[in-house]
Amino acid sequence: MSHEAAAEGTPGIASYIDHTLLKPEASEAEILKVCAEAAEYHFKSVCVNPVWVKTVKTALKGSGVLTCSVVGFPLGATPSDVKAFEARGAVLDGAEEVDMVINIAAARANDKGSLVDDIAAVAEAVHEGGAILKVIIETAMLSDEQKVLACEAAVAAGADFVKTSTGFNGGGATAADVALMRRTVGPDLGVKASGGVRSLADAQAMIAAGATRIGASSGIAIVTGEQGSSAY
């Protein structure tokens, strides 16, 4: 089956996918390969660590694929002003989307005020540059009540999306978590499912639960109806 036929066989699914390579050891050649794949399959974005943003932005020029980067990744245990500085730099380098990790300890302590402050600092930096902000709440480390709290904080802080997971700290996305997040944020915010989404069936389940974006390194497997193996 050709790549074009594969994409046509799953109408629209590619437009949900942030084609992701966040391994710290990723080489420039691997990053460029992901960019070429994203352009070929018409994925929504390529998501990489901040050091690769300029490379990705250049490689994707004219493709229609967005450049996405991460902030405070993967632990979220960085001061808010440092996250904001990192986000501003990523946007200046060309990132059109930024995925930040919350202060997970604050969520587990039910400290909504700290969460709002943390997210708002990054949201301001991202929005100043005309980019959008996705907020990773790391569902595997939170109770349902804490997931709701974190999502409410993201809404209050002006985020554009909430996102399930980094893919680096335990479990990934579940349909139940996506549905809970969607109920919490309402119809207007994006919900991104990431971590362990490896097949078309996985992606379809997340979309049915309310996801509007899929973060995956198995994007090609998803659009071709095969099975990926990556944890992200």
Catalogue the active-site residues. Answer: 99, 163, 192
The two three-digit tokens of residue 66, written as one number: 């967005």
Q: Which residue has the tokens 């497997």?
A: 221
Q: What is the dihedral of CA 164, 166, 167, 171, to 10 degrees?
A: -50
Contact 192, 161 (CB under 8 A): yes
Taking the C-alpha atoms of residue 69 and residue 162, their distance in angstroms, rounded to an integer, is 15
Kindly state the DSSP code that residue 227 receives in the 8-state scheme: B
Contact 39, 60 (CB under 8 A): yes
The full length of the chain comes to 232
Amino acid at 216: A
The two three-digit tokens of residue 99, written as one number: 């995925």
3-state secondary structure of 195: coil
DSSP string, 46-95: EEE-GGGHHHHHHHTTTS-PEEEEEESTTT--S-HHHHHHHHHHHHHHT-
The two three-digit tokens of residue 48, written as one number: 């990489």
Amino acid at 24: P
Taking the C-alpha atoms of residue 183 and residue 198, their distance in angstroms, rounded to an integer, is 24
Taking the C-alpha atoms of residue 186 and residue 167, their distance in angstroms, rounded to an integer, is 24
